[in-house]
Amino acid sequence: MANEIVKDTSVLLTEKRMFEPGNEVIEKANVKNWKAEREKGKDLEAYWGEKAENFHWFEKWNKVLDESEKPFYKWFTGGKTNITYNAVDRWINTAKRNQVAILYVNERGDEKKITYYELYKEVNKLANGLKRLGVKKGDRVGIYLPMSPELPVSLLACAKIGAMHSAVFAGFSEGALAERLNDAEAKILITADGTYRKGSVINLKNIADEAFLQCPIIETMIVVKHCGNEVNMSDLSGKDIWYDNLIEGEPSECEPEKMDAEDPLYILYTSGSTGKPKGVLHTTGGYMVGTATTLKTVFDIHDGDLWWCSADIGWVTGHSYIVYAPLVLGTTTVVYEGAPDYPDPGTWWKIIEKYGVTQFYTAPTAIRHLMRFGDKFPNRYDLSTLRLLGTVGEPINPEAWMWYYKNVGKEKLPIMDTWWQTETGTFMISPIPVSPLKPGSATKPLPGIEAEVVDKEGNRVPVGKGGHLIIKTPWPAMLRTLYKNPDRYVETYWNVIPGGVYTAGDIAREDEDGYFWIQGRSDDVLQIAGHRIGTSEVESAFVSHDAVAEAAVIGKPDPVRYETIKAFLILKEGKKLTPDLMTELKKQVRHELGALAVIGEMVQVDILPKTRSGKIMRRVLRAREKGEDEGDISTLVE
């Protein structure tokens, strides 16, 4: 089973194959010398200061890095810019004016090409429409949209006027949506009638309406007509407005808000090991410099490229690398809506052939899924326009890496296995095209990033030994805080390991060549098909059902999704975990969280292992599951 390879760390560490880049890759590469660039990156201020010169600033910064209030680091202080101005406006007086900025394609084969000039007008109209609804700089706008063109447009329109967007992945259900919108105190929600998924249309407006009932702060819901399915707009309070009606007649010019480099750009919620989802806050200047620089370095973006990141914009991967970075670099970015295997498992390869995609970036879970259908699908299409491949989201097992390398990369294309997080904003540990690759390793920290594997006391662990992955120095796109919760920011990331370092929450190993092998989370966070889900969120979804007294969940290895949920349930007096109850519980969790919370197994138990203070010891459950000695379980990270 593929996933067992990932979990069995001895296999990863005995993986000795090394793949060198071909001459064509080296000749074209934006950065030709990996080692030299990493040396250059050691002078943080000089390195990032030089990179920042590539972008437009209304006023230049006075200081590249301000560490005076660490861990509340500031970047490019005194600088004034606007990320939408950089992503859209600045291209319209250049040769890129009529170049396609966004290529929207869906599983039904529909397409829409939006040029930079068209994007400029659309963004401005929505920005003006939002202003008309009273949205001002610093306000939060909730976004619950499918992968339709209006999703990137909405992000860009908010950023243009300095409103913070808070997008929620459209696979989340109303409970999860409402919780996030309430925390962000969003007063507007942009949603749509529906989304296409595996041949059917999912009505998003219904879900948004349910969430609205739990969100007293939301005043207006802007509804995009995307699928043309019927939705209920008859609300008497006047809260619903069609997107088209809102922007109709709005001017196609809108002055960009001159944002301080440290003004907030967006909030994006992610799961932690305990409690509610965390509102990761990203700011403007450093995020722009970090995302665009890393995309250019790692995926070697050149004029004329067609970049495709298959993630959803509702996650950080889409924010950084479908919307902001590619557009700030003036490239063409693909926005794909639908499943990877509909109408058949050749869909993605067909799109690559049809449009001539040059760089393709996806998740290991998608590769493992498509792998099951065999080689015939990728081999049926001409994939020769591709120059580089990439993955993100969870460790990629060497078997899936090799399949991707052989069948999609034709044994020529380097695979950029990028390790990063919602919090980091950008790739952190990743090869660049000229790096020698080892299947399953994200290789080394990027230039300007200093990472290490340490024990609980912060001492570097010996080669090959597991430890906590930490980042030792600040980087421009780092999260600045957790929204409305600075204490939790300090506690979660900076007070875990001594030495003022950022703790990622991952277990990693470094090999004798200094290559990093990410082994998975060290905390109670699940990775299901590339989606990060907190155990406590799933547990509260279970206990919201009448029959459940207590619940504890852990990750259950899965050959395709990496993990699914295994739930240990204490049921109320006299209840039995019958097949009917299991179906109900699945429904309940789906209702509370969304279809992304995939349950692999449920078992009824009488007691759960707990600490003296009553905290569930999921580590014990995990150890039992693997047949390990419970006493030894801490050895994995120490």
The residue among 288 and 585 lying less far from ligand PRX, judged by its C-beta, is: 288
Interatomic CA distance for residues 437 and 5, integer angstroms: 18
Of the residues 124, 297, 418, 564, which one makes contact with ligand PRX according to CB under 6 A:
418
Minimum distance of ligand PRX from residue 596's CB (angstroms): 11
Q: Residue 273, interface with ligand PRX (CB under 6 A)?
A: no
Q: Residue 510, interface with ligand PRX (CB under 6 A)?
A: no
Q: Residue 528, interface with ligand PRX (CB under 6 A)?
A: no
Q: What strands lie across the sheet with 140-144, from one edge to the other? A: 240-242, 220-224, 188-192, 140-144, 164-167, 264-270, 278-283, 481-482
List the structure tokens of 482: 């957790």
List the structure tokens of 250: 């709005």
The residue among 19 and 57 lying less far from ligand PRX, judged by its C-beta, is: 19
Reduced 3-state DSSP string for 203-233: EHHHHHHHHHHCCCCCCEEEEECCCCCCCCC
Q: Residue 492, interface with ligand PRX (CB under 6 A)?
A: no
Q: What's the CA dihedral at 116, 351, 170, 126 to 10 degrees? A: 20
Q: Residue 479, interface with ligand PRX (CB under 6 A)?
A: no
Using the rule CB under 6 A, give the single segment among 59-67, 102-110, 348-356, 415-423 that binds ligand PRX: 415-423
The residue among 223 and 392 lying less far from ligand PRX, judged by its C-beta, is: 392
The residue among 189 and 311 lying less far from ligand PRX, judged by its C-beta, is: 311
Q: Residue 362, interface with ligand PRX (CB under 6 A)?
A: no
Check if the beta carbon of residue 108 is closer than 8 Å to that of residue 338: yes
Cα torsion 619, 621, 624, 625: sign:
negative
Q: Residue 270, interface with ligand PRX (CB under 6 A)?
A: yes
- How many positions of this chain bind ligand PRX (CB under 6 A)? 21
Check if the beta carbon of residue 142 is closer than 8 Å to that of residue 267: no
Minimum distance of ligand PRX from residue 527's CB (angstroms): 6
Using the rule CB under 6 A, give the single segment among 171-179, 339-347, 407-415, 499-507 that binds ligand PRX: 499-507
State how beta strands 278-283 and 264-270 pair.
antiparallel
Interatomic CA distance for residues 637 and 622, integer angstroms: 14
Minimum distance of ligand PRX from residue 135's CB (angstroms): 27
Minimum distance of ligand PRX from residue 47's CB (angstroms): 22
Q: Residue 206, interface with ligand PRX (CB under 6 A)?
A: no
Interatomic CA distance for residues 24 and 447, integer angstroms: 23
The radius of gyration of the chain's CA atoms, rounded to the nearest angstrom, is 24
Minimum distance of ligand PRX from residue 253's CB (angstroms): 35
CA angle 400, 402, 403 (to 5 degrees): 65
The residue among 379 and 421 lying less far from ligand PRX, judged by its C-beta, is: 421
Residues 278-317, interacting with ligand PRX (CB under 6 A):
316-317
List the structure tokens of 101: 């900025």
Of the residues 204, 442, 567, 616, which one makes contact with ligand PRX according to CB under 6 A:
442
Using DSSP's 3-state secondary structure scheme, residue 625 falls into helix
Interatomic CA distance for residues 369 and 400, integer angstroms: 10
Q: Residue 416, interface with ligand PRX (CB under 6 A)?
A: no
Using the rule CB under 6 A, give the single segment among 24-32, 199-207, 212-220, 498-506 that binds ligand PRX: 498-506
The residue among 127 and 504 lying less far from ligand PRX, judged by its C-beta, is: 504
Q: Residue 3, interface with ligand PRX (CB under 6 A)?
A: no
The residue among 151 and 298 lying less far from ligand PRX, judged by its C-beta, is: 298
Q: What's the CA dihedral at 624, 627, 632, 636 to 10 degrees? A: -100
Q: Which residues of 577-591 are buried (b: 16+ CB within 10 A; e: fewer)?
A: beeebbeebbebbbb
Binding track over 378-407 against ligand PRX, x by CB under 6 A: --------------xxxx------------
In this structure, the number of other CB atoms found within 10 A of the CB of residue 140 comes to 23
Helix (H) or strand (E) holding 581: helix 579-592
The residue among 3 and 422 lying less far from ligand PRX, judged by its C-beta, is: 422
Minimum distance of ligand PRX from residue 602's CB (angstroms): 25
The residue among 66 and 179 lying less far from ligand PRX, judged by its C-beta, is: 179
Interatomic CA distance for residues 201 and 580, integer angstroms: 27
Interatomic CA distance for residues 355 and 334, integer angstroms: 10
The residue among 294 and 317 lying less far from ligand PRX, judged by its C-beta, is: 317
Minimum distance of ligand PRX from residue 525's CB (angstroms): 7
Minimum distance of ligand PRX from residue 402's CB (angstroms): 16
Residues 529-558, interacting with ligand PRX (CB under 6 A):
532
Minimum distance of ligand PRX from residue 524's CB (angstroms): 12
The residue among 79 and 433 lying less far from ligand PRX, judged by its C-beta, is: 433
Q: What is the DSSP letter of 445?
A: B
CA angle 534, 540, 543 (to 5 degrees): 145
Residues at the site binding ligand PRX, with contacts judged by CB under 6 A = 270, 316-317, 392-395, 417-422, 442, 504-506, 518, 521, 527, 532
